[in-house]
Amino acid sequence: MSEVINKSILTRKDVRLGRPDRKSSFNARAAAIHQGQNGIKSTPFGGLMTNRLLARLPGEDFARLLPYMEPVTLQAGHYLYGLGNNIDHVYFPETAVISHVHLLEDGNTTEVALVGKEGMTGLSAVFNAPPANYWSQIIIGGGALRVEVEVLLEDFYRGQAMQRLVLNYASERIAQISQRAVCNGRHTLSERLATWLLMLHDRAGDGPLLLTHEEIARHLGARRASISVAATLLKDRRIISYNRGHIRILDRQTLLSTACECYETLARYSE
Amino acid sequence: MPDVRSSLSGNRLLDSISPEEYERLSAHLKRVSLSLSEVLFRPDERISHAYFPTTCIVSLLTELQDGSGMEVGLVGREGVVGISAILGGEETKVATVQAQGEALRIEAGLLREEFQQGGLLQRALLRYTHALMTQISQSVVCNARHNVEGRLARWLLMYLDRSDTNEFELTHEFMANMLGVRRPGVSEIANRLQERGLIRYQRGRVTILSREGLEALVCECYPIVKEKFESFLL
């Protein structure tokens, strides 16, 4: 594992332009992240089928895929794929939520997309592209169905329903990241925090969200102190409760009015 | 005869497909001249055509309700504008010509049919889609984390990679959208690069004076995205 990671860091270094080396914090963070990759457990199928992509597959296509689907439980804080790793499975989340996290040279991170029951992970493998340059972190633990990339590719290249679904999802993913790009450029941190909590709520349901301020900061690409200020404000207005790293959304209506317009746009893709 | 073909098409993505595929496709391709600020499509419009730029550069912008927006992607001779023609789904961005020039235009439905034939065209379009996703993703990171000079340097280098000249028209409005700042702030930011001797900026016209200088200033997002496009940009 560490060999793969070192290689990917070298590759990145090769294309870096002449600048002082700030790699040590990047490497330290990369190493810390890669200690936690055992969070994927094969699990009995609980009878759920809430993943929107799978639920939309015509019966015949679904039946062909079914023998290859493995139900798994994903544990929060762990990673599905690391930077530069080859992708061997695609995951269709049911109750789990995956966050695509970019790691910067200075060791800071920023989330680019959330993937829940509306989507799938592993598009770069399906699109025959080089491995993605982000980590796929399990942000909310829960269930997912996974399929080996080879199996999915075979179905994808039939050019039938699976291909249409995956392409359509890719189009939604592009819409999602485009919106988040403009959001990060134009909106305040408290608006962005509200939007982000709503997006998690849509995917994870009413349970508590296990997130420290530090973790939220890593996803939103902000400083922890700024997140604390914004989160405390939401807590004082009784929009969320916050207890030892457990966040609950108490007043979704008011949270909606705190969020920027981006939530409305982004929510279209998680229905 | 790849050499003849590449000089005919001028678009790197099309140059990567097989001669047979290009032959079939070229019957549907029409060379068009696109002028500065021409809008190719807007959100929620049904895409009628896709464009393979040969000498023009097209900006992809996400708009907000108040009319402000932010550029999230740039497409030149390495790619195609109107990828949603193939993916299906709604287009959510505004595509505006940012450097006038030519493109090869194809009806969206015809491109979709060709895509469904599989082959190298399908692979190239999928790989390009992923590279475009990387470019937009990096804008998410960049807009959250990087300073405005580094971001300006990034867009200027992206331009340079897609162009044969080191001089472009860059209106205040466009620069404001590129950087996510208000229009009055644009001149000051451009001046900072000008004072370092990296660019000349006069009356909406940028001349790049030092590529090395911009590369020293640019944020890490530039090499990361460039690597993903390398197979198309070479």
What is the dihedral sign for C-alpha B136, B138, B144, B149? negative
Which residue in the block uniquely carries the two structure tokens 């340079």? B160
CA of B33 vs chain A CAs: smallest distance (Å): 28
Interchain CB distance below 8 Å, B216 and A19? yes
A270 close to A233: Cβ distance less than 8 angstroms: no
Using CA coordinates, name the residue in chain A closest to B139: A181
C-alpha R_g of chain A: 19
**DSSP states along B54-123:** SS-EEEEEEEPTTS-EEEEEEE-TTS-B-THHHH-S---SEEEEEE-EEEEEEEHHHHHHHHHT-HHHHH
- Give me the interface pTM, i.e. the ipTM: 0.91
Residue B90 and residue A170: Cα distance in Å, rounded?
11
Which residue in the block uniquely carries the two structure tokens 């004072």? B195
pLDDT digits (tens, 9 = 90+) for B5-59: 445 689 999 999 999 999 999 999 999 999 999 999 999 788 899 999 999 999 9
Structure confidence at residue A31 (pLDDT): 62
Cβ under 8 Å to B: A residues 96-135: 100, 102, 104-105, 108, 110-113, 123-124, 126-130, 132-134
> How many CA atoms lie less than 13 Å away from B213 in the CB half-sphere?
14
Torsion of CA A73, A204, A200, B138, to 10 degrees: 30
Using CA coordinates, name the residue in chain B closest to A128: B127
Partners of residue B228 in chain A, C-beta under 8 Å = 129-130, 133
Edge-to-edge, what's the strand order for the sheet holding A246-249? A209-210, A246-249, A240-243
Task: Please check whether residue B129 touches A, CB under 8 A.
Answer: yes
Structure confidence at residue A202 (pLDDT): 92
Structure confidence at residue B69 (pLDDT): 87
Residue A167 and residue B84: Cα distance in Å, rounded?
9
Task: Please check whether residue A266 touches B, CB under 8 A.
Answer: no
Residue B78 and residue B82: Cα distance in Å, rounded?
14
Task: Please check whether residue A252 touches B, CB under 8 A.
Answer: no
Tell me which residue of B109, B50, B121 sits closest to B82, measured CA to CA: B50
Q: Could you tell me the CA-to-CA distances from B31 to B10, B55, B104, B107 in Å, in that order? A: 11, 11, 4, 12
pLDDT along chain A (271 residues), means of 10: 35 36 60 62 79 94 94 92 85 95 89 95 89 88 95 94 95 94 92 95 88 93 94 95 90 96 89 72
Provide the β-strand partners of residue B31.
Answer: B104
A to B CB pairs, distance under 8 Å:
141
pLDDT digits (tens, 9 = 90+) for B200-221: 998 889 999 999 999 999 999 9
Tell me which residue of A77, A71, A82 sits closest to A27, measured CA to CA: A82
Interchain CB distance below 8 Å, B145 and A104? yes
Interchain CB distance below 8 Å, A112 and B64? no
Residue B181 and residue B189: Cα distance in Å, rounded?
10
Q: How many residues does chain A have?
A: 271
Which residue in the block uniquely carries the two structure tokens 């023998």? A67
- Does the pTM surpass 0.80? The reply is yes
pLDDT digits (tens, 9 = 90+) for B85-127: 999 878 889 999 999 999 999 999 999 999 999 999 999 999 9
Residue of B60, B68, B114, B133 to mutate, interface with A, max A Cβ within 10 Å: B133
Sequence-distant (6+) residues with CB within 8 A of B167 are: B205, B206, B207, B208
3-state secondary structure chain A: CHHHHHHHHHHHHHHCCCCCCCHHHHHHHHHHHCCCCCCEEECCCCCCCCCHHHHHCCHHHHHHHHHHCEEEEECCCCEEECCCCCCCEEEEECCCEEEEEEECCCCCEEEEEEECCCCCCCHHHHCCCCCCCCEEEEEECEEEEEEEHHHHHHHHCCCCHHHHHHHHHHHHHHHHHHHHHHHHHHCCHHHHHHHHHHHHHHHHCCCCEECCHHHHHHHHCCCHHHHHHHHHHHHHCCCEEEECCEEEECCHHHHHHHCCCHHHHHHCCCC
Tell me which residue of A197, A174, A20 sits closest to B129, measured CA to CA: A174
CA of B77 vs chain A CAs: smallest distance (Å): 19
Structure confidence at residue B6 (pLDDT): 45
Cβ under 8 Å to A: B residues 133-172: 133-134, 136-141, 143-145
Partners of residue B143 in chain A, C-beta under 8 Å = 181-182, 184-185
Cβ under 8 Å to A: B residues 3-22: none
Interchain CB distance below 8 Å, B132 and A180? no
Neighbouring CB atoms inside 10 A of A64's CB total 16
Partners of residue B86 in chain A, C-beta under 8 Å = 167
Tokens of A260: 């920027």
**Cβ burial B34-64 (10 Å sphere, 16+ → b, else e):** beeeeebbeeeeebebbbbbbbbbbbbbbbb
Interchain CB distance below 8 Å, B127 and A128? yes
Across all residues in chain B, what is the average pLDDT? 90
Tokens of A245: 């790293």
Q: B119-145 and B148-161 helices cross at what angle (nearest 10)? A: 160
Tell me which residue of A188, A198, A246 sits closest to A222, measured CA to CA: A188
Q: A2-15 and B221-233 helices cross at what angle (nearest 10)? A: 80
Tokens of B153: 């340097």
Residue A84 and residue A66: Cα distance in Å, rounded?
29
Structure confidence at residue A86 (pLDDT): 83
Task: Please check whether residue A173 touches B, CB under 8 A.
Answer: yes
pLDDT digits (tens, 9 = 90+) for B146-184: 989 999 999 999 999 998 899 988 888 888 888 888 888
A39 close to A78: Cβ distance less than 8 angstroms: yes
What is the pLDDT confidence band of residue B230, given thresholds at 50, 70 and 90? Answer: confident
